[in-house]
Amino acid sequence: MQESMLQKFTDYLREVLGIPVALEAWPGVERLPFFLRDRYDFFYFTLIHTPYLLMRDRTEQGLNPLAISKHVAQVYTYWDGEVALLCDTISSYVRRRLIEQSISFVVPGHQLYLPSSGIALREYYRTKRPTVMSLSPSTQAVVIYALCHDAEQPFTPSMLAKRIGYTRMTMARAFDELAAVDIGEIVPKGKERLLHIPHGKRALWEQAVGFLRTPVRKRLWTRQPVADWPGVQAGLSALVSDSMLADPGRAVFAMSSMEWKAWKQQHGDAPEFEIPEMDEDSCELELWSYSPRLFAEHGRVDPFSLYLSTQSMGDERVQSALEQLLERALW
């Protein structure tokens, strides 16, 4: 694996720059701290009269820009030339952070960023990524799932398909959408792709919130719930139970459009259950684009979906309660 990557590196430089490069094992590696020697392989080469030390991460743990920055800074205390990271793949988020910090890196076949030598080349993929204005309901469900679970281990499409009830193909498309807008870090590994959430749920929320939409497709009035009612507490009902807001006096529930359709079919379409307007015995029902039961706790919708479904309400007290709810959820 190492020899293959090093060969790709030298071939790539010869192809794009027309310069043959000879890599040699760096004898100064023994002076480095053990954790750097344990994680990276080091080779040195000269390019346009500039000595470079090439760092190759052998652990395949996923690239963390903050950790890389610290590791590179430590290597510089033992090396007088330039330092460059060798990667077989890199997410656009990590690439952007490395460029912001002027950290040199090479992804053979795709990108060469050596600012000290005045070189910044990128070869774009032939397939153009779709323009994403907002995430599809299934992709938004992936984000909500990750926000609710403090995931330290990466996800795969097959894993998420089992956990949240979508097909593996739908989850694969969700990964495509997330990659298109740089949400999380998606890294190929063999025949699978891994979705990493490397910087915690607050960073994930900040990356995703601009692409998230209210899950509410429709609101209607119904009679009070019966025993096998699949709805969960939502809207102001859910917010009141988790804040200092006054009880609105009218219950709000949520379920997916598919769950509502299935429930009506089970009960002979229950025409008397849905009513045309509010009365003293009615409650409000929100029909969602994904099932709120996937992430509900204690009979209430999750805080992130609750925020998205009620943030358009203009009441300042509601907005203040939502911000406090979100802060607690992101803590």
Q: Is the pLDDT of residue 233 over 70?
A: yes
Q: Name the phi and psi angles at 172, rounded to 5.
A: -65, -40
Phi-psi region at 94: left, alpha or beta (left = phi > 0; alpha = psi -120 to 50) = alpha
Q: What is the mean pLDDT of residues 7-17?
A: 87
Residue with more model confidence, 208 or 315: 208
Q: What is the pLDDT of residue 115?
A: 81
Q: What is the mean pLDDT of residues 52-67?
A: 78
Q: What is the pLDDT of residue 123?
A: 58
- Give the C-alpha distances (Å, rounded to integers) separating 202 from 150, 173, 235, 331: 10, 24, 23, 8
User: Over the stretch 138-159, which tens digit does the pLDDT of each residue have?
Assistant: 999 999 999 998 767 889 999 9
Burial bucket for residue 199 (CB in 10 Å: 0-12, 13-18, 19+): middle
- Give the C-alpha distances (Å, rounded to integers) separating 176 from 152, 233, 249: 21, 32, 43
Q: What is the mean pLDDT of residues 101-120?
A: 84
Q: What is the pLDDT of residue 126?
A: 37
User: Over the stretch 249-303, which tens digit does the pLDDT of each residue have?
Assistant: 778 999 998 888 888 887 765 556 777 676 667 788 999 999 999 999 888 999 9
Q: Is the pLDDT of residue 128 over 60?
A: no
**What is the C-alpha to C-alpha distance for residues 85 and 181, in angstroms, rounded to an integer?**
24
Q: What is the pLDDT of residue 124?
A: 45
- Give the C-alpha distances (Å, rounded to integers) separating 191 from 172, 187, 221: 12, 11, 48
- What DSSP string describes 42-108? EEEEEETTEEEEEEEE-S-----HHHHHHHHHHHHTT-SSEEEEE-S---HHHHHHHHHTT-EEEET
Amino acid identity of residue 318, one-letter, is V
Integer distance in angstroms from the first to the last C-alpha of the chain?
41
8-12, 124-128, 322-326 — which is least confidently predicted? 124-128
Q: What is the pLDDT of residue 16?
A: 82
Q: What is the pLDDT of residue 248?
A: 67
User: Over the stretch 210-222, which tens digit does the pLDDT of each residue have?
Assistant: 889 999 999 988 8
Q: What is the pLDDT of residue 132?
A: 58
Task: Give the rounded percent of residues in the chain with a pLDDT score beyond 70.
Answer: 87
pTM strictly above 0.95 = no
Tokens of 51: 């000595």
